[in-house]
Structure 1
Amino acid sequence: MLAILDAAGCTTSDLVKVTVYVAGVKHWPAFDKIYAETMGNHRPARAVVPVPELHHGYLVEIEAVARVSTAG
């Protein structure tokens, strides 16, 4: 997500909504800690969806919406 934001000229401060799919709630505390460290004081709207499993065996999938400046 960070690489995609960077490629769009954005940072985590530009995120407006994040949906997190977590494979099993047992992974939630570890993810939440990393998420909080990554976001700092910025808290976009967030939904967390526990799922039984994700494609390719992933533990977390993130869908994010960011505002991109068109000023140039």
Structure 2
Amino acid sequence: MPAPTVLSRCVFVAALFAATAAIAGEPPEFLSSPDPAAASLPFSEAVRSGDLLFLSGQIGTAEGKNELVPGGIAAESDRILQRIEDVLKRHGASMRDVIKCTVFLADIKGWPAFNEVYRRHFQTPYPARSALAASGLAMNARVEVECIAQAPKR
């Protein structure tokens, strides 16, 4: 059987999203970022569907800037996971609530460096996770991460 493609993963996530919305009986809630620069981007920071929170992919941009943090994949990974934690907190969740992450690497050789940083942001039991090498990420980032968290409305 061939390996799943990015498109097949997107179809799976869309189906999962639709299923959780149907189970919840409520329409999804599209959540925006308080960052004015993010308002011009064509996606939501996160979407709540029932008790699940679907976070958009994050790259390692510097605080308040539209540029990647210097320092390579480790610095970008650390910044990404900080950004994910910030998004979760804004919407009533934490890193402990993350149940699934998808990691996109510009070069699979960066996997060990990413894992080292990842272990500092998550504790056991770790979320389920998938990873793949991509042939190009936004802003020439070395890594991008998206997550799903269980986060009931409070």
Fold shared by both chains (TM-score > 0.5): yes
CA RMSD of aligned residues (A): 1.2
User: Aligned letter for 1:12?
Assistant: M
TM-score scaled by length of structure 2: 0.44
Q: Which residue of 118, 121, 131 maps to 1:35?
A: 118
Alpha-carbon shift at residue 8 of structure 1 (Å): 1.0
Higher relative contact order (CA 8 A, sep 6+): 1
Q: Which runs of 4+ in 1 moved over 2 A?
A: none
- List per-residue Cα deviations over 1:34-71 (Å, max 9, x = no partner): 0111102231110001112212111111110011122x
CA contact 1:24–1:53 (8 Å) conserved in 2: no
The CA distance in 2 between the partners of 1:2 and 1:10, in whole Å, is 8
The CA distance in 2 between the partners of 1:63 and 1:5, in whole Å, is 12
Structure 1 segment 1-72 matched on structure 2, within 5 A: 1-70=84-153, 72=154
Compare the two structures and name the one with the higher strand fraction: 1
* Structure 1 unpaired stretches of 5+: none
* Structure 2 unpaired stretches of 5+: 1-83
Percent same amino acid among aligned pairs? 30
Which protein shows a greater Rg? 2
- List per-residue Cα deviations over 1:14-44 (Å, max 9, x = no partner): 0011100011012111111101111022311
TM-score scaled by length of structure 1: 0.88
CA contact 2:100–2:129 (8 Å) conserved in 1: yes
